[in-house]
Structure 1
Amino acid sequence: MTATTLVAGATGYLGRFIVAELHRRGHNVRAIVRSRERALAPGPWESPSLEGLVDDWAVGAVSNPDFVADIAEGVDNVVSALGVTKQAADPWDIDHKANLAILRSAERHGVGQFCYINVIGGDQCPAQLTQAKTAFVNDLRSSSISSQIINPPGYFSDMTEILKMAQKGRVYVVRPDVRINPIHGADLAAYCIDRLTAGEPGMWDVGGPEAFTWQGLAECAFRALDRPVKISKLPPWLLSAAISVLNVFSPKKADTVRFVSWSMLHDCVGEPTGNHTLLDFFKRHAEDNI
């Protein structure tokens, strides 16, 4: 019997790869999107268009309780990559409340499994973004639904900020020896659906096949550009000062910097998986106007 899987956050970088992976494995896919037109356009950083990959379109706002109430009716599984990235929304409204509303719908309609993509070390990071995610993880683990919680350290798409600095001639790092193994969206999508298919509840820290120091990330970007390596080290207190100043004018931007800063100051390395390499990714985008 063909499984029907609901995907929340289907038009994001990771969500598009998840839809493609589910379609490839023969699932019927119900995709939650705000705009079908946007969903059919190619996604960012190699993520695919959803053209021909979706069986059932659920078009609406996840912040609308009436829209979400029966969103899980008739589905077997839920995969949520839903979360605030660059939107103006409050992470507590999206990462926590909207995901929780989808979970409650799944509970009412007897959904078997709920796979949620979180972030590695989220329960330790002080950013509101990660605290909202952690609150939802706690709700999900308390639910009667079997859950798979996947914690990646960061995506290849996030690492384009390093490539952007390298394109401008210099990369700034805080602690050059702190380690991270970012992962390509296609590799993470495959890992998530493997866990969903296995059907065992649990939580996994997972990253790409290569672990880098932040110094190594910078060197990788310059190598892709075939330019001399130019790296400067910033003192950690400078980040704290920047967050304090930003918090006066834009609390949301300050919280984003708080999250990024935490990642730059702490090792974020998960179980290695996949076969996409960051150097090849950087080379493919070396000439992009990022």
Structure 2
Amino acid sequence: MDASNQRVLVLGATGYVGRHLVERLKAEGYAVRAVVRDRSRAHAMGAYGAPSLSGLVDEWVITSDGATEPDAGVMADVRHVVSALGVTRQKADPWDIDFRLNLHYLELAEQAAVESFLYVGVMHAAAGTSALSRAKYAFMQSLQRSSVPPQIVNPSGYFSDLTEVFELARRGLTFGLGDGSVRLSPIHGADLAKYCVARLPHGAGTWDVGGPEALSFREILRLASDAVGKKPSYVGVPMSLASSALWAADRIGPRIGSLTRFFLEGMQQDSVGEPFGSRTLRDYFVSLADPR
């Protein structure tokens, strides 16, 4: 389908995935309207190698803070909405951002009768007990009931999420929960963006997607150790200690508790999606070890 003259509203445009989505949409010939809080931040390079938005955005919508709710004008002439809007490490309540703010945009999209609303979610959200998982799942349910054709893409995880594993390996700390057999298929942000943009013309659906390889946590730690020239050695932390970590994190504060619960739950079940893309985790870790 010819993307020319098709305007796409991108939510969460300055986040890791949002930046890659904007870059891919522009490359495919879509007109991009991006919602951002800070245009100067948008022009800077993003974290983990995500691109600057300079020259990639046709129209800017500036909101003063993450909870601002634009009026219906934001949907004028929009054909598709793509949302990577959500909380990860920011100091914000997932129910305010992942659920309520996405829901507000969905209501505006329904009024404007846009052709689709694509949401970048997370695998296993229905089973998650963290506020982050529950807020995401609540919005997914609302989207699936919407009059706007829903498109939900659930990645297994991002290469960027595993940067912390690389940093632990650099310090010689190679440990994880249990025996390290839990498998996931992390995906690079650019490959995920390519997958999402390819879905836009094809109507409603829900897709679980990952990168080209399914790896156990042990294998991921070995790749990180190899990249930094350390001898791989895995130390398994008993699963029973996860509840103790949650107890401690909950007493630090609700935000830390929610994030800890979200990541610990992700380390206790396989998250393997449809294989897609060409970028490998080995190459990503090597690029971190030698960023030239």
TM-score (norm 2): 0.95
Secondary structure of 1:51's counterpart equals coil
Is 1:196 equivalent to 2:203 in the alignment? no
- 1:187 aligned residue: 191
2:210 aligned residue (207, 217, 222): 207
* C-alpha distance in structure 1 between counterparts of 2:108 and 2:124, whole Å: 28
Is 1:172 equivalent to 2:178 in the alignment? no
State the 1:130 CA deviation.
0.8
- 1:130 aligned residue: 133
Is 1:37 equivalent to 2:40 in the alignment? yes
Secondary structure of 1:150's counterpart equals strand
Compared with structure 1, are the counterparts of its residues 234 and 101 closer, same or farther at alpha carbon in structure 2 (3 Å cutoff)? same
State the 1:85 CA deviation.
1.1
Contact 1:73/1:105 (8 A) holds in 2: no
TM-score (norm 1): 0.96
Is 1:274 equivalent to 2:277 in the alignment? yes
2:68 aligned residue (64, 67, 74): 64
Contact 1:181/1:268 (8 A) holds in 2: yes
Secondary structure of 1:116's counterpart equals strand
Given residue 242 of structure 2, which amino acid in structure 1 is its aligned partner? L
Q: Which stretches in structure 2 are left out of the alignment for 5+ residues? A: none
* C-alpha distance in structure 2 between counterparts of 1:93 and 1:70, whole Å: 22
- 1:286 aligned residue: 289
* C-alpha distance in structure 1 between counterparts of 2:175 and 2:255, whole Å: 22
Is 1:112 equivalent to 2:115 in the alignment? yes
Given residue 178 of structure 1, which amino acid in structure 2 is its aligned partner? V
Contact 2:10/2:83 (8 A) holds in 1: yes
1:237-248 matched pairs, under 5 angstroms: 237-248=240-251
Given residue 168 of structure 1, which amino acid in structure 2 is its aligned partner? R
- 2:252 aligned residue: 249
1:209-224 matched pairs, under 5 angstroms: 209-224=212-227
Given residue 8 of structure 2, which amino acid in structure 1 is its aligned partner? T
List structure 1 runs of 4+ shifted beyond 3 angstroms: none
State the 1:249 CA deviation.
2.0
* C-alpha distance in structure 2 between counterparts of 1:259 and 1:144, whole Å: 30
Q: Which stretches in structure 1 are left out of the alignment for 5+ residues? A: none
* C-alpha distance in structure 2 between counterparts of 1:86 and 1:46, whole Å: 17
Contact 1:69/1:101 (8 A) holds in 2: no
Cα deviation digits, residues 133-190 of structure 1 (max 9, x gap): 0000111011110111000111000010110100111211113101000000000000
Given residue 14 of structure 2, which amino acid in structure 1 is its aligned partner? T
% identity of equivalent residues: 43
State the 1:253 CA deviation.
0.7
State the 1:287 CA deviation.
4.9
